[in-house]
């Protein structure tokens, strides 16, 4: 539904992951409603294992969501390049479980949990983050528009500078 770019918050002087609606979806009211629903769902969270949303806005008629940017690699990339030890695997698993527990407490179910959606930050000081994507509201908490296969939570792969769109 969206593309993610590395951007700079000029007011606060920090890097952000900027998710924008794909150009071909700008005229689709249902897609725009789902995009905003995704932002609202993500904004509910304040948890060390979930990506933080900083804000939403619109530029030249294109809605965007500013998300926390963490440098690192996704779990799939990490497993391929340097498989984690048993201890690290258990830490990652616990972080994932705690992030999911928080999402469930807000009536959000994750529908696309996979190694590509788990971010392992590059620095030890950064926390493991479940890049919540593919969420689905629990029964009684319906998203606008299409109710099957929508993405209720934001995120995808980490943005990289000057390489154009990174996700779709």
Q: What is the pLDDT of residues 42-75, one digit of tens each?
A: 888 888 888 899 999 998 889 999 999 988 899 9
Sequence-distant (≥ 6) Cβ neighbours of residue 129 within 8 angstroms: 49, 50, 51, 68, 70, 95, 99, 118, 119, 121
> What is the C-alpha to C-alpha distance for residues 10 and 93, in angstroms, rounded to an integer?
35
The one catalytic residue in 9, 82, 112, 116 is 112
Percentage of the residues of the chain whose pLDDT score is greater than 70: 73
Q: Assess whether pLDDT exceeds 90 at residue 136.
A: no
112 has catalytic annotation: yes
Question: Which of 7-11, 109-113, 141-145 has maximum average pLDDT?
Answer: 7-11
Contact at 8 Å (CB) between 131 and 141?
Answer: no
Domains of the chain: 2-137 (1.10.510.10)
Q: Assess whether pLDDT exceeds 80 at residue 13.
A: yes
> What is the C-alpha to C-alpha distance for residues 62 and 26, in angstroms, rounded to an integer?
7
Task: Give the residue ranges of DSSP H helices in the chain.
Answer: 29-43, 75-81, 86-105
pLDDT at 22: 86
Contact at 8 Å (CB) between 132 and 153?
Answer: yes
Split at pLDDT 50, 70, 90, the class of 155 is: very low
């Amino acid at each position: 539904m969206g593309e993610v770019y590395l951007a700079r918050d000029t007011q606060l002087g920090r890097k952000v992951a900027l998710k924008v609606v794909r150009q071909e979806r700008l005229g689709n009211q249902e897609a725009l409603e789902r995009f905003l629903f995704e932002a609202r769902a993500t904004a509910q969270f304040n948890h060390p294992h979930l990506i933080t949303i900083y804000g939403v806005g619109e530029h030249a008629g294109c809605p965007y969501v500013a998300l926390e940017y963490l440098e690192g690699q996704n779990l799939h990339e990490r497993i391929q390049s340097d498989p984690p030890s048993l201890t690290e695997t258990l830490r990652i698993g616990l972080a994932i479980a705690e992030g999911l527990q928080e999402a469930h407490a807000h009536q959000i179910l994750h529908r696309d949990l996979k190694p590509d959606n788990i971010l392992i930050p590059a620095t030890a000081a950064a926390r493991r983050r479940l890049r919540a994507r593919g969420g689905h509201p629990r029964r009684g908490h319906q998203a606008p528009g299409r109710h099957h296969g929508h993405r209720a939570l934001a995120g995808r792969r980490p943005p990289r500078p000057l390489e154009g769109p990174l996700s779709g």
